A and B are shown apart, each in its own frame.
Chain A
Amino acid sequence: MAPIIRIENLTKKFSSLVAVDHLNLDIEDGEILGLLGPNGAGKTTILLMLTTVIKPTEGTAFIGSYDVTREPDKSRTLVGIAFQEPKLLWVSTPWDVLDWHAKVCGLPSEERKKRVRWALEELELWNERHKIIHTFSGGMRKRVEIAKILIQRPKIAIVDEPTAQIDIVGKHRIWNMIRTLRDEGSTILLATNELYEADVLSDRVAIMHKGKLLVCDEPKKLKDTILGGDVIEVILEKDVPQKSLEELKKINRVVDVLTTEPNHLKIYLNQAEEVLPQITEFFMKARMPIKSIHMSEPSLDDVFAHYTGLTIEEAQKK
């Protein structure tokens, strides 16, 4: 079956900055594809090109069978977006914003009212429906933005950091709503820099860094690409010399060692439980007191680190 979104060589330059660099990616009908990367990775720029808000410098994308550069009007009929920053006039009310959005998307009057009411109630905004948005908190504005896409129920729903500024209860509610949207027939393109969000929601995750696609696959398969099924994170009281790192790598079942900070190590290995005593012994002998030690399975952050040598947090800072 042909993909519902086909991205071919998509590039966007802002003067000398290459925000998206020759991206190629297919998105299948009915899947949730997580676009994961630090701020500045190019995620939002991709979404803006797919929604025809900005034009590609090079390459194109097909939404269904429509080319976004040649048939932008037709491609927009299949897509809806909830922006990262809520796009709302502060003098408007949630009811006006959502009712107009439903109207411009072509919903008939009765259905429109029903869906607007449903979304406002689900997102706990019903009592505030006639208040001006100027009085709203960041989280409330974000919920109004999300409501647009829940009302529209487009064939392709694009959500850019849908749970930023939302509390944990609200996050779970929005995740469930996104899943429901998918179950009702929408394909979801989710841009996020939250690892957990990408992990729990996405069927596949595309990891971006500096405008480039590093890798795209199911979260489990991505984690499996990291040699060694476990991770031991060690924080030491002093910095680790290079020589010690080399010695650590020689320990049996240790696959790789990554320094995220001079005194902060991530050791990728197999059967961590059995190797852990050897590792603690190694640091004791080397007179390097351990501040904390933590054992876990690899996360998408480890996948990102595997490809870039940086955690997402570090990449964000840079």
Chain B
Amino acid sequence: MISLRKVWTVAERDMRMFLQYKFLLIMRGIWFIAQIALFGLVVNRMVSQGVQDSVGGDYFNFYAAGIIITMLYSTAVFIGYDIYEEADHGVIEYLLSVPVSRKELVIGRSIGGGLRSFVYVSPMMLFILYLIGISSPLQLLVAFASLFLFTFGTAGFSITLAVSIKSSDRFDISLGVIDALIVRLSTTLYPIAYMPSYYADIARFNPLTFAADLFRWGAGIESTFLTSPAIAVFGIVAFFSLFTSLGIFLHERKIEGGGWQ
């Protein structure tokens, strides 16, 4: 039996911890501005009319929506770094000793890691929606709910990776490689129609593709991939479920204090 109070207590702790990383928060904010105001505007001028047409008439909107998803992803995976910081100070052992089940701990941390990412990116998301305009509030609500799940799933993925690797250097390198692959093999930055088919086949099952396409659908941007939002929602639910379950399994069966590098 899972106690929601305990889950929330764990989540709240991770949200509070995020506020300690003021430097990171400021830097990510600057990164976002650079991506939109510099790169986005320049790239928008470079792309051909054909590309503009294929993404609903304005590549900038398509790109800006994709950047929001990469922001959500990169801030949600940060919980993995928190785990290493905690391992350094022995806090992992402490968390394993408190009267909270491993399930509550993993779910709480996934929610905390996801929610803090969502809250942090929200102002940027609203700014982008202001630029794009909202055509269907109901669609947007569905998209938001799915993005919530996407951030929880991403945090669960990061937790799973961190506790499986148990080495901060390897985790950092792995996350760099995964980040390069998962972002580039998705529709966050470019439409699937322009990908070679062997890349497109992978991108179709990428949670970032599901999230980006859902956000665009929610904002009323014509998506070149999404034929059914239900499939994307299902993909995100599967992503969340898989990594939350994996995280719980690892914590219940494998995780012990000590042995972190």
Task: Using CB atoms and an 8 Å cutoff, list the residues of chain A in contact with chain B.
Answer: 48, 51-55, 73, 76-77, 79-81, 83, 85-92, 96, 100-101, 103-106
Contacts and interface: CB of A to CB of B under 8 A. Distances in A.
A77 B97 CA distance: 10
B89 A87 contact: yes
Interface in B88-141: 89-91, 93-94, 96-102
A104 B99 contact: yes
Nearest to A90: B89
A81 B100 contact: no
Contact of A91 (B20, B99, B258): B20
Given A54-B257, A81-B97, A104-B99, A89 B16 contact: no
B98 A89 contact: no
A87 B94 contact: yes
29 contacts: A51-B97, A52-B96, A52-B97, A53-B96, A53-B97, A53-B256, A54-B256, A54-B258, A55-B256, A73-B101, A73-B102, A76-B97, A76-B100, A83-B90, A85-B90, A87-B90, A87-B91, A87-B93, A87-B94, A88-B91, A89-B17, A89-B89, A89-B91, A91-B17, A91-B20, A100-B9, A101-B98, A103-B9, A106-B99
A48 B94 CA distance: 10
A109 to B, nearest CB: 12
A86 B99 CA distance: 18
A258 B256 CA distance: 42
A105 B97 CA distance: 11
In this complex, the member of A52, A53, A55, A85 whose beta carbon has the largest number of chain B beta carbons within 10 angstroms is A53
B76 interface: no
A53 B99 contact: no
Given A83-B93, A87-B89, A89-B85, A48 B99 contact: no
Nearest to B103: A73
A100 B94 CA distance: 12
A194 B88 CA distance: 27
Nearest to A145: B94
Contact of B98 (A48, A76, A85, A86): A76
A79 B257 CA distance: 17
A24 to B, nearest CB: 23
Interface in B77-94: 85-86, 89-91, 93-94
Contacts of A55: 256
A87 B93 CA distance: 8
Interface of B: 5-6, 9-10, 13, 16-17, 20, 85-86, 89-91, 93-94, 96-102, 256-258
Contacts of B10: 104
A104 B97 contact: no
Contact of A77 (B5, B99, B257): B99
Contacts of A81: 97
Nearest to A133: B89
Contacts of A83: 90, 93-94
Given A54-B257, A91-B20, A104 B86 contact: no
A89 B99 contact: no
A100 B97 CA distance: 14
Contacts of B5: 106
A48 B13 contact: no
User: Sorted from nearest, which 6 A-B pairs have the closest CB atoms?
Assistant: A87-B94, A53-B257, A87-B90, A73-B101, A51-B97, A91-B20
A88 B89 contact: yes
Q: Which of B85, B94, B256 has the most CB of A within 10 A?
A: B94
Nearest to B86: A89
A317 to B, nearest CB: 24
A101 B13 CA distance: 10
A53 B93 contact: yes
A208 to B, nearest CB: 19
Contacts of B89: 87-90
B6 to A, nearest CB: 7
A100 to B, nearest CB: 6
A104 B94 contact: no
Given A88-B89, A104-B10, A105-B99, 17 more contacts: A48-B93, A51-B97, A53-B96, A53-B97, A54-B258, A55-B256, A76-B97, A79-B97, A81-B97, A83-B90, A87-B89, A87-B91, A87-B93, A89-B86, A91-B17, A96-B16, A100-B13
A101 B10 CA distance: 10
A52 B102 CA distance: 11
A252 B27 CA distance: 82
A135 B20 CA distance: 15
Contacts of A85: 90
B214 to A, nearest CB: 34
